[in-house]
Amino acid sequence: MIRLDHVSKRYPNGREALSDLSLEIAAGEIAFLTGHSGAGKSSLLKLIALIERPSRGQLIVNGQNVAGVSRSRIPAFRRRIGMVFQDHKLLHDRTIYDNVALPLIVAGVGGKEIGRRVRAALDQVGLLGREQSVPLELSTGEQQRVGIARAVVSKPPLLIADEPTGNLDPDLSLEVMNIFRRFNEVGVTVLVASHDLFLLEHFPVRRIRLEGGRLAGDAPAQATARDPSPTTAPEDLGREDAVRGRGPWTDPEPTPAGSARANLLDPRKLIEQNEGMAP
């Protein structure tokens, strides 16, 4: 899914953000990218998304060598990567519907199909029914969930996030990370850049640590770490489902018409509905 062979990134001013970096993230894996500010986390995510290109070395993403992706093919390359940012990067003069639909509009998806996918994506992050709201009407946590819905609406096989919980309190941070984990459980590869010690303590996933642009550590998932089940997370993460013994692979129970709670944070329906329809 992602492979770096001796990758370096040097900027025109001479600063080397990444130096001789080699690592591999398998398809379907979830991992934290950690390190102090300036360690190179954001630079690595920019290379993966082809926002920037490596100065040296080979980078393979979704089976493609980024060196062979021409400028005209970059939009198609990025459509297979969902990106979530700390500051959401929402269009504040547009509705939630328009924000989530943007990647599909750019990809030329038909209007009827856009509506179906947008509603499905908002359903998965618990915001179905807020389509006509604008970002400033939502809380910070809700705005971040809109950013996640926009990132997954095209059903990308890879999801990357740059400090997605940096502006959130601990409960909301757990909520966002549980969304990522639920998508990972249905096969999406997830890479999250974070230095949030609270999250690192609670999620037993692989940790890739950068220091000064170099690989300083690569720790596998720790079974002894505190794994936050929905019973310890905020109520919206499915406390009742956990009590009943239901997990991400079980069918949701029936709910009244118009209610999104039964499918809250369960990405299976979004992925199944979109199977074979990604632009």
| Model pLDDT for residues 172-225, shown as the tens digit of each residue | 889 889 999 999 999 999 999 998 888 888 888 999 999 999 999 999 987 544
DSSP state of 171: H
Closest CA to 263 of 157, 149, 93, 126: 126
What is the pLDDT at residue 222? Answer: 76
CA distances from 217 to 22, 33, 44, 211, 270 (A): 12, 10, 15, 9, 35
Residues 199 and 31: beta-carbon distance below 8 Å: no
Handedness of CA 228, 232, 235, 239 (dihedral sign): positive
pLDDT of residue 15: 93
Determine contact, residues 97/132, Cβ cutoff 8 Å.
yes
**Domains of the chain, residue spans:** 30-39+76-206+224-274
In 3-state terms, what secondary structure has residue 208?
strand
Question: How many residues are present in the chain?
Answer: 279
What is the sign, positive or negative, of the torsion defined by CA atoms of 139, 140, 143, 145?
negative
Per residue of the chain (279 residues), give pLDDT as tens: 899 999 999 999 999 999 999 999 999 999 999 999 899 999 999 999 999 999 999 999 999 999 999 999 999 999 999 999 888 889 999 999 999 999 999 989 998 999 999 999 999 899 999 999 999 999 988 999 999 999 999 999 999 999 998 888 888 889 889 999 999 999 999 999 998 888 888 888 999 999 999 999 999 987 544 445 443 333 333 333 333 333 332 333 333 333 333 333 444 444 444 444 344
> Could you tell me which CATH number the domain at 30-39+76-206+224-274 has?
3.40.50.300
What pLDDT, on a 0 to 100 scale, did the predictor assign at position 223? 54
Instruction: Identify which of 208, 206, 190, 148 has the alpha carbon closest to the alpha carbon of residue 172.
Output: 148
Per the CB < 8 A criterion, the answer to whether 87 and 26 are in contact is no
Are 43 and 17 in contact by the 8 Å Cβ rule? The answer is yes
What pLDDT shows up at residue 232? 34
Global pTM?
A: 0.78
Q: What backbone torsions phi and psi does residue 162 show, to the nearest 5 degrees?
A: -105, 105
